[in-house]
Structure 1
Amino acid sequence: MTSYSLVADVGGTNTRVALAQGTELRPDSIVKHRNCDHSGLAELLVAYLDGQDNPVCDRAAVAIAGPVKDGAGQLTNLNWQLDKARLARVSGAGRSAILNDLQAQGHALGHIDDCHLTTLKQGQDVNPNAAMLVIGVGTGFNCAPVFQTAKGRFVPPSEAGHLTFPARGHDQWDLSQFLDAQLGHVAVEDVLSGRGLERCFAWASATMGQPRTATTTDIFAAADAGDPAAIKAIGAFVTALGGVVGDLALTLLPFGGIYLVGGMARAIAPWFDRCGFNAALTDKGRFSDFLDGFAIRLVEDDYAALSGCAHFLAGSDNQS
């Protein structure tokens, strides 16, 4: 009987689940679930396995958009929890793991087809053995450094989205004060996420004397139609993102490349040139030229985190 790995990528809105054989996903097994249709993650996984005729799974790995500690994870934007012991019971797997979703994306780097990668910025010296950095911009914000070691790939977790938003310049300071009045503490994720763009639009329209609210979809459509508030909101988002990416690059020195993932990253990338992303990225005084050494790529593979889970499990086997 064929044995599989159960792999899942759990976001704040949707969960993708698949079966893998070794490091290869079985394409006909990939299913995208709306989280609102399920009462919890364990129930969702049970329903998925039932729909796949309950295959034998000897390993299981789940990537969660939230903090993970000691084999247990809690989603940041949804009241779902899972630990590896319960995952083992649900899947029947002898080996199980809970990862942060950006960790899973980090394990996918180097295994993503070139057709799913778009180069946004060429680096001066791309070294495949150097550290890499994956940055997720979607329902939330986070990052994970990726290190190659003698014992294999090491991708430590972080919760970088909850760092204090580093406002720079008049507009960003004004935006941060506008949000501080509502939120008390303004984190990076409060600006650089889907909800963050909506907050940028609320601020931009208020500064123009016509306070409005809009969804991310409507903001992009309005900007395409020339709406000044929507364009200002997107500009604020892009320059804020450039500044944060530059800070993270200086912190982690990812000479192997920076990889942007997530729905908001894909949606906002076409505005980078128009709104000054690279100028904001390199606005670091004496180290402005230094920051041109980092290549930036956009990942357009919706299943990269699933692949990363499969490669993590395979790598764990090789290290055991």
Structure 2
Amino acid sequence: MALAADRYSLVADVGGTNTRVALAEGRTVLPATIRRYPNQPFVDRGEGLEAVLAAYVDELDGVDCEGAAVAIAGPVRDGAGELTNLSWRMDRETLARVTRAERAVVLNDLQAQGHALDDLAPGSVKAVQSGRASAPGAARLVIGAGTGFNAAPVFDTAGGRIVPPSEAGHVSLPLRGEEDFRLARYLESEVPIADGFASVEEVLSGRGLEHVYLWLGTEAGDPVPRSAKAIMACLADGSDPRAEATARVYVRMLGNVAGNLALTLLPYGGIYFIGGVVRAMRPWLEPFGFAAAFADKGRFGEFLTQFPVSVIEDDYAALTGCASFLDTQRGR
């Protein structure tokens, strides 16, 4: 594939499990250039994100990019970031070198999702709660639930779009009853990765599903683990009541956390869920009581019904967000 130099941007979405890479022309991601790389083989060879990006550039015959943007699932500061659930790091200088790009930027993955909101693929946004229409430019919120969990507000201002980063998955799990306290105590004492702290991510992520499933089994005297993929498969075919019980805990907690974030940030323009776990869970959000849990805020329950809530089913939205961000920064 012969590609002109300094015409395209390289965009990448780096999660804890997979890295997606593509070329973009302006704000448009080129579908034929999208590649998906499982991270584990690179980890097994002692390699990091730089090796993934180099492999992509080589696969496209050494394409010389004009711009490059990488969205990573972890905190970013001063142009450098490190994945929360994988010991990979990336900074602007390394990104520019490996892609030969004149412009390079490292974003948090939820920041990229926020920059994608106006450029999503048609039909990729599925409503969960209709809410009430808002004025143009109202604040919005993206919430990601996949390998990890995070959230970021989206503000459109006269000077451009601002998507502040956060690490919302690592705040304390909200507890509303005895069952929640038992779950928190289990996470604190029995889950090594939790390190004695019951955070939101230890429930509202892929491994969080596995934690909840094993906790329910432990309480029932049958501590048999299942993978998140197996839990969702059993939920779909109805073969395991514990999978349904796990999903009900997940949906209730998701509604509780999202309601807290809505009251904190007042995203009248809408709340957008992204990520593989919440996409898989979408058919069960309504029957398992997401709306009730979201509005379970006492006298502010009715207030919360005004926020539109949706699920984004475009798996490449973060790539679009990287392209959109680079395009808005052109010439600055």
User: TM-score with structure 2 length normalisation?
Assistant: 0.94
Aligned residue among 24, 27, 31 for 2:31: 27
Percent of aligned pairs sharing the same letter: 52
Tell whether 2:232 aligns with 1:220. yes
Return the offset for 1:14: 0.4
Tell whether 2:157 aligns with 1:149. yes
How many residues align? The count is 319
Which residue pairs with 1:18 in the alignment? 22
Deviations 1:144-175 (A, max 9, x none): 10000001100010000000111112221211
Aligned residue among 119, 123, 127 for 2:131: 123
Contact kept in structure 1, 2:128 and 2:286, CA below 8 Å: no
Aligned residue among 212, 215, 226 for 1:200: 212
Contact kept in structure 2, 1:204 and 1:230, CA below 8 Å: no
Which residue pairs with 1:108 in the alignment? 116
Tell whether 2:329 aligns with 1:316. yes
Deviations 1:240-298 (A, max 9, x none): 00000000000000011000000001111111122111111000011000000100111
Contact kept in structure 2, 1:126 and 1:294, CA below 8 Å: no
Which residue pairs with 1:188 in the alignment? 200
- Tell me the SS of whatever aligns to 2:279: helix
Contact kept in structure 1, 2:137 and 2:157, CA below 8 Å: no
Aligned residue among 104, 118, 141 for 1:133: 141
Return the offset for 1:227: 2.3
Moved over 3 A (4+): none
Aligned residue among 199, 223, 227 for 1:211: 223
Aligned residue among 70, 73, 95 for 2:81: 73
Out of 247-256 and 123-132, give the one that drifted further.
123-132
* Equivalent-residue separation in structure 2 for 1:63 and 1:44 (angstroms): 14
Out of 232-241 and 172-181, give the one that drifted further.
172-181
Tell whether 2:242 aligns with 1:238. no
Which residue pairs with 2:293 in the alignment? 280
Contact kept in structure 2, 1:172 and 1:240, CA below 8 Å: no
* Equivalent-residue separation in structure 1 for 2:90 and 2:204 (angstroms): 26
Which residue pairs with 1:5 in the alignment? 9
- Tell me the SS of whatever aligns to 2:16: coil
* Equivalent-residue separation in structure 1 for 2:233 and 2:318 (angstroms): 29
- Tell me the SS of whatever aligns to 1:293: coil
How do 1:139-178 residues align onto structure 2 when only pairs under 5 Å count?
Answer: 139-178=147-186
Tell whether 2:264 aligns with 1:251. yes
Aligned residue among 22, 36, 40 for 1:36: 40
What one-letter code is carried by the residue in structure 2 that aligns with 1:202?
Answer: L
Deviations 1:126-151 (A, max 9, x none): 33410000000000000010000001
User: TM-score with structure 1 length normalisation?
Assistant: 0.97
Q: What RMSD, in angstroms, separates the aligned Cα atoms of the two structures?
A: 1.1
Runs of 5+ consecutive residues of structure 2 not aligned to the other structure: none
Deviations 1:25-67 (A, max 9, x none): 1111110111112221111111100110112211110000011
